[in-house]
Amino acid sequence: KAGVTQTPRYLIKTRGQQVTLSCSPISGHRSVSWYQQTPGQGLQFLFEYFSETQRNKGNFPGRFSGRQFSNSRSEMNVSTLELGDSALYLCASSLDGGAHNEQFFGPGTRLTVL
């Protein structure tokens, strides 16, 4: 069974631009979560999607948004990029969400904002 895939793996953008990251979950998984990972901050929860609906949201500004498609693939968008948005963005999928479910993580997208 194929794992979680994320594209692109690396991105370089400049301040003020916007960016879209993509995540394909494991087949059959309906829940997709996004995390921002930065040195010293660890993983910060961005949001979780389930059946095309945002079910949970972390404490990030509205510049961070996402969506999920009917095939459970998810995209994350960051508008008006700031230097502080440079991070590794991780996507994780699980069967149906819920704190008891194991999350399977993708390799991440490394975003650099110049």
- Binding residues (CB under 8 A) for other proteins: these are 4, 31, 33, 35, 40-45, 48, 50, 55-56, 90, 92, 94, 97-108
Written as six digits, the tokens of 114 are 């110049």
Rg over alpha carbons for the chain, rounded to the nearest Å, is: 13
Write down the least CB distance from residue 62 to other proteins, Å.
Answer: 19
Write down the least CB distance from residue 78 to other proteins, Å.
Answer: 19
Closest CB to other proteins among 81 and 91? 91
Q: Give the integer Cα–Cα distance in Å for 42 and 98.
A: 21
